[in-house]
């Protein structure tokens, strides 16, 4: 992987995927910045690696200018923030869109968004107990694709059901209607994020990812 994007800011850094992303970034000799809400979160993040810096911000209440201010000076944005169903409109939807707008203001083009498998399939998610979660993901994805195509070099990752095993280092990229009974380890999602950061062939694309047979480190799988 080249080092075009070396300074990476992570929204959702205190979440399960976010912490793994920070660790993977640090171990790849990149410079991660963790967005945190409190001093307590800041302390918990600092224990992961001395390479990690932090920026305090409450995404649900922050203005676009506030967000742009902490994005400035970075090379890439990773958005894996989520409210676990508690604040879907303010965090999962509006928080994401504010971050897109802020990245544009800060002139940081590279952005990786973590969405969810089937977020583009209303027929599927209208029957899901996570209906509102999928709605938030659906419209965040649509806004990114429809309104920021010219301003951001984005990639949308749509992992299937998340699990907490050790990871295999291998995934499969599947079609939109596949993957109903699948899973993927969070650590492998984090590894994918780091691997695609500087892969220009992923710009402007979405990927549905599950545990599979293709080596995450093989750039040719992201066609």
Crossing angle between the packed helical segments 94-106 and 64-71, to the nearest 10 degrees: 50
Eight-class DSSP state of 197: T
124, 133, 139, 207: the catalytic one is: 133
Distance CA 45, CA 23 (A): 10
Residue 33: both structure tokens together = 């910045």
Q: Is 207 a catalytic residue?
A: no
Residue 159 structure tokens: 């992992």
Measured between alpha carbons, how far is 218 from 222 in angstroms, rounded to an integer? Answer: 8
Q: At 135, which helix (H) or strand (E)?
A: helix 131-147
Angle of the 186-196 helix axis to the 16-27 helix axis, nearest 10: 50
Catalytic residues: 133
């Amino acid at each position: 992987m080249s080092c075009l994007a070396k300074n990476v800011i992570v929204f959702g850094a205190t979440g399960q995927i976010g912490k793994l992303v920070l660790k993977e970034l640090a171990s790849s000799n990149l410079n991660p910045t963790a967005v945190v809400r409190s001093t307590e979160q800041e302390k918990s993040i600092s224990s992961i690696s001395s390479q990690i810096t932090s920026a305090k911000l409450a995404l649900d209440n922050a203005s676009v200018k506030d967000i742009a201010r902490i994005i400035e000076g970075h090379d890439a944005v990773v958005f894996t923030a989520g409210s676990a169903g508690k604040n879907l409109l303010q965090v999962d939807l509006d928080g994401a869109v504010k971050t897109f707008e802020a990245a544009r203001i800060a002139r940081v083009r590279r952005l990786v968004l973590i969405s969810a498998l089937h977020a583009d399939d209303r027929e599927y998610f209208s029957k899901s107990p996570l209906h509102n979660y999928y709605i938030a993901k659906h419209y965040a994805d649509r806004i990114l694709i429809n309104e920021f195509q010219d301003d951001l070099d984005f990639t949308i990752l749509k992992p299937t059901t998340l699990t907490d095993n050790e990871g295999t280092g291998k995934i499969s990229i599947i079609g939109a209607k596949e993957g109903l009974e699948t899973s993927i380890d969070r650590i492998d999602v984090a590894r994918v994020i780091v691997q695609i950061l500087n892969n220009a062939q992923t710009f402007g694309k979405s990927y549905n990812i599950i545990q599979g047979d293709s080596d995450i480190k093989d750039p040719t799988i992201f066609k």
